[in-house]
Structure formats: structure tokens, C-alpha cells
Amino acid sequence: MVKLFLRFMLLCSLVPLLLAAGCASVHRDISSLNEVEVETVLLVGRIELVPRLRQGEQNIRLGLDPSGIKESMVNRAMLGLSHEPKRVEWNEFGGGVRAVMNPVLEQTFFIPVPKGMRYMVNGTIAMEFSPNDGTTLMILPPMEFDIRPNDKAIYIGTLRMHRDEFHEVTKTEILDDYTAASAEFKKRFGGSMVLRKGLAKPLKLRASDG
């Protein structure tokens, strides 16, 4: 009974539309700069897994899915953002997380987020999800984005995570693929906006941080 309840909570915690309706907003790729709102900054980067996800490796089984929950999980990551550095449990998308990035894996993402959201406080990739299972790959947070007041778009790097067979991240690298990302940026949006390089940095929390 306890686990049933926990699973229900897990389901709720991962539903993007519930998030959107609650405290946190969900942010995905955009294709036009017109979609960048005031007081947001366009984050450009990439999430990579080594080894990559195999075809069918994510076992996401949902019955009725009118909210498109499965789409937010398959080949995507969920990165919880906050305006303050703090410890937030992997399944806590409520009070601790104020915005969620939902990038597609293995390709450059262009996602606008509110400028205050400079801390990635949790992150997951759903590996198995059903009423009977909830296995996730934990992206090792926290990280800090170097968002400055005048920034319109910044390149935060490629977050490459090496994993073992138990979906444990054994090593995390932040790689600088700025040249390739910048070329993609110009191809997609033209040359009217500058993409500043500001690689994400791992953040060490103090005991008092949440």
C-alpha cells in the first residue's frame, strides 16, 4: 500500500502538465527566437549518455496518456531548476523546483528558461516507468549556469554521462562543443543574436543549503 502511494506520487511528480499547472513550468526546444519571452535566457547545450540508450531500452508503459507523459520521458531528460542552490530529492518537483527543462537526448537543445533559474538542482532520465516500476537514471546535480543579466543566449556545454548496467552514472563530463553548437544556433536562428559561452559548473553545496 505504501509503495502504491509512492508510485502514485512518482507519477504525479513526473507529469509535465501537472508541473505546468503547479509551481514549476516545463521548458522545451524552440524553433524561433519569437518564442523567447522577456526575462528568459536561451540555454544551448546537449545531454549525452555513454553508452547511448538502446532502441527500446526505456520501458515506459502507460495506459491512457492524454497528457503526453510518455513523450516527455522517451529519449528525454528532466532537469529541475531553481533560483537558489539547494538539495532537492530526485523525485521532488514541487517546492524545490521552479522550472523544468525537458531536452531531447543526444542532440543540441535550445531551451528558454527564466533568467533566475541558474541552478540545476535535480535531473533524471526515466528508464522504466509503469504502475509497477519506477527506475530512473539520476543525473548528478547540482550545477550552476553562468547566467548574466544581459544574456540572451548562452552555451552551457555538453553534459556527457557515463553509466553502468544499473543506470548508475559513473562519470560526468562537461565538454566544450561551442563551435558546433554555435553553427547549429546560427543555422536555426540566424545571426541576430549572440551565443555567449558560459559552461555549466558543478556546484558544491554546503550543509546549510537545503
Tell me whether residue 8 or residue 180 sits nearer to another protein (CB atom): 8
Quote the least distance from Cβ 156 to another protein, whole Å. Answer: 24
Tell me whether residue 41 or residue 100 sits nearer to another protein (CB atom): 100
Tell me whether residue 120 or residue 195 sits nearer to another protein (CB atom): 120
Quote the least distance from Cβ 67 to another protein, whole Å. Answer: 23
**Range 64-69 contact pairs with CB under 8 angstroms and sequence separation of 24 or more:** 67/15, 67/16, 67/17, 67/18, 68/16, 68/17, 69/11, 69/14, 69/15, 69/16, 69/17
Quote the least distance from Cβ 106 to another protein, whole Å. Answer: 18
Quote the least distance from Cβ 166 to another protein, whole Å. Answer: 4
Closest Cα to residue 164, out of 48, 51, 47? 51
129's grid cell: 516507468
Tell me whether residue 29 or residue 89 sits nearer to another protein (CB atom): 89
- Interacting residues with another protein (CB under 8 A): 1-4, 6, 54, 56-57, 59, 90, 128, 132-138, 164-169
For the chain, the C-alpha Rg in angstroms (whole number) is 17
Tell me whether residue 57 or residue 176 sits nearer to another protein (CB atom): 57
Closest Cα to residue 199, out of 139, 122, 146, 143? 146
What are the Cα distances from residue 93, in Å, to 9, 31, 87? 11, 26, 12
Quote the least distance from Cβ 37 to another protein, whole Å. Answer: 34
